[in-house]
Amino acid sequence: MKKKQDIRHRILIRFTEEEYALVKDNVTKCRLFTQNYFRMLIKGRRPIESPGDDYFELDHNFHKIMINLLQISGKAYMLNMKEYGLMWDVEQAFNRHCTRIMKLMLRLKIT
């Protein structure tokens, strides 16, 4: 279980309109709360942009397809079908390809 941080200090920072707009834009792109965004910067970590909604929709669709493949292979196993081995191979290949596609999308920032 994560220990709750003892946060006692507050810093007031003033920004120009242009600086504030940049901060808000970056916070929105990273899908972070402003305080978490600044905590990452203070700790020397550069927040990265969150993938777009299309990425998460694609990930959700891959997940649904994977569940269907698992159900099909489970049914084949229950029926003691010889094709179960083939289904397992297809499932594993699909999983590898999905992982590669998602990594490429993140690298190319396709949204």
> For position 111, what pLDDT does the model report?
45
pLDDT tens digits in sequence order for the chain, 111 residues long = 566 777 788 888 899 999 999 999 999 999 999 999 999 999 999 888 887 777 778 778 877 877 777 777 667 666 665 555 566 677 777 778 777 777 776 766 654
Q: Which SS3 state, helix, strand or coil, does residue 9 take?
A: coil
* Residue matched to tokens 């489970």: 74
Q: Which SS3 state, helix, strand or coil, does residue 5 take?
A: coil
Angle between helix 53-78 and helix 84-108 axes, rounded to 10 deg: 170
Cα(53)–Cα(16) distance, integer angstroms:
31
> For position 24, what pLDDT does the model report?
95
> For position 65, what pLDDT does the model report?
79
- Report DSSP state, residue 2: P
- The residues near 70 (Cβ < 8 Å, ≥ 6 apart) are 91
* Residue matched to tokens 């965004």: 37
> For position 110, what pLDDT does the model report?
52
How far from 109 is each of 97, 103, 106, CA to CA, in Å? 18, 10, 5
What is the identity of the amino acid at 55? Y
> For position 3, what pLDDT does the model report?
64
